[in-house]
Amino acid sequence: MNKLLISVAALSLIAGCSDKGADHDGDGKITAEEVAEEMNRVTLEPGEWENTVEIVDVKIDGLPDGMPANMMDSMKGKVTTSKSCITKEEAENPGAQFFAAQEKTSCEVKKFNMSGGAVSSEMACSNMGGTPGDMTMAMDGQYGPSSYDMTMNMHGGASGMKMNISAKSSGKRIGDCPTG
């Protein structure tokens, strides 16, 4: 689950901006190519980035018998921090990373709007990581060349189980990429 949250936050980090959103051809469907084109408009600073994801709330209905009902409470407040290096080439072409991520998932971008440093997006995914079920992820927040701050809400379920997760994600450039 943490890998999913970090992946979503990373995708939001490398986003671009436009007043009309990513649906450039106006057909009502946002393709990976349209999102990548949008992302390539961003001014992103290369270097080492620190990314933080905090689980704000977790609600799961329909847990299988024998699973402790309070098990998910231990996820609340959990903070995961990671560091990544964004090269000059990646900063100049962030859409390439989006294509690579899209090839490995069954996600469809439903909304992707950015303007004046604000972002609002929604994705619908099915069978993520080979696990049956559907999930919708919505992100809203602010971004700039050296930082981002997002809220994420994920809703989904499978096999009679329904899950709702709220999280906060932030990132900032902390310096040059380590050498060696």
Cα gap 21→68, rounded to integer Å: 43
Per-residue model confidence as pLDDT tens digits over 127-170: 765 566 788 999 999 988 899 999 999 998 877 788 899 999 99
Q: Identify residue 128 by its one-letter amino acid code.
A: M
Q: How many structural domains compose the chain? A: 1
> For residue 80, what is the enclosing H or E element?
strand 79-86
Domain of 43 in residue numbering reads as: 2-175
Question: With a threshold of 0.75, does the pTM exceed it?
Answer: no
In a domain, 180, yes or no: no
Judge contact between 37 and 24, C-beta under 8 A. yes
**Rounded to whole angstroms, how far apart are CA atoms 162 and 13?**
28
Residue 46 has pLDDT above 70, yes or no: yes
Structure tokens at 156: 């989904």
Q: Does position 35 have pLDDT exceeding 60, yes or no?
A: yes
Q: Is residue 8 part of a domain?
A: yes
Residue-wise pLDDT for 70-88, tens only, equals 666 778 889 999 999 988 9
pLDDT tens digit sequence for 94-119: 665 655 555 566 778 888 777 778 88
Q: Is the dihedral of CA 49, 85, 40, 6 positive or negative?
A: negative
As a whole number, the mean pLDDT across the chain is 77
Is residue 11 pLDDT above 50, yes or no? no
Cβ count within 10 A of residue 3: 11
Q: What is the predicted pLDDT for the residue at 9?
A: 46
| Whole-number Å distance between alpha carbons of 110 and 28 | 9
